[in-house]
Homo-oligomer: A and B are copies of this chain.
Amino acid sequence: MTDLERFSFNQITANSATLRECAEACTRHGVRWIAPWRHRLEEAGLSESSRILRDCGLSVSSLCRGGFFPAATHAERQQRIDDNRRAIDEAADLQARCLVLVCGPAPGRDIDGARAMVADGIAAIMDHAQQNGVRLGIEPLHPMFAADRSVIVTLAEALDLARRFNPEQVGVVVDAFHVWWDPQLYPGIQRAVGYIAGFHVSDWSSPLPGVFTGRSMMGAGVIELRRMRNAIDQAGYRGAIEVEIMNETLWSRPVDAIFEQAIESYLACL
């Protein structure tokens, strides 16, 4: 039976709420895990955010996000690396189970060149992550984001990248919305034993309600969520399952209504 033990609330699912409002809603609804976004930490500041989560008894399943490594010039790439080091510091402060890496698009048309920049970027932040005890999670994004968010678009590709490092230092984040279409998904999950650093859930309904805001509540779409969860369990992942839904209609609802719907759908579909 599915219960709420592994349920994590990704902050963007209630985008109108502050981190404090999200955290307090977690407490009201019996949720023990949360996943904040970096730009929302700025609202209360890092130390205060960290204190809020501690006071609510919440653990941080992931911090969203580092990455965005490719850039046209060496100086810009160095700025991205510096920003990733700051993200690692923040993840360490929050004791996040992983720092999600959304790897970034190509600065021009050279997608393979950008993929090489991603590998170089991860290598450049490895030591800092290790020193701070932060695990990096490479998240392959849906190919519809290849031009503006991530040149890493399949689980196989993310795994090949992660395998250059120690799985305790670099893993992969499997987001159902991003990978469900892939004919190589289930072989990929089997191959990912030891590397899975996160599992994010939502659903794909058509027509899509948007692109960035194209996600639906679990059960409202075509994704075989339980099949995916079972495969990920069989691959040995025991961590949190994050509900991460960007959806304008959902965002317009009261925070408690969002939590109720997310919990009900999670229990029914995962």
Contact = CB atoms under 8 A, between A and B. Distances in A.
A266 interface: no
A109 interface: yes
A148 B208 CA distance: 10
Contacts of A182: 143, 153-154
A165 interface: no
B181 A111 contact: yes
A45 interface: no
A204 to B, nearest CB: 6
Interface stretch (A82-90, A127-135, A194-202, A217-225): A217-225
Contacts of A156: 183
Nearest to A153: B181
A211 interface: yes
Contact of A144 (B183, B205, B208): B208
B147 A222 contact: yes
A144 B147 contact: no
Contact of A146 (B154, B181, B207): B181
A204 B143 CA distance: 12
A71 to B, nearest CB: 15
Nearest to A185: B111
Contacts of A108: 222
Contacts of A148: 206-207
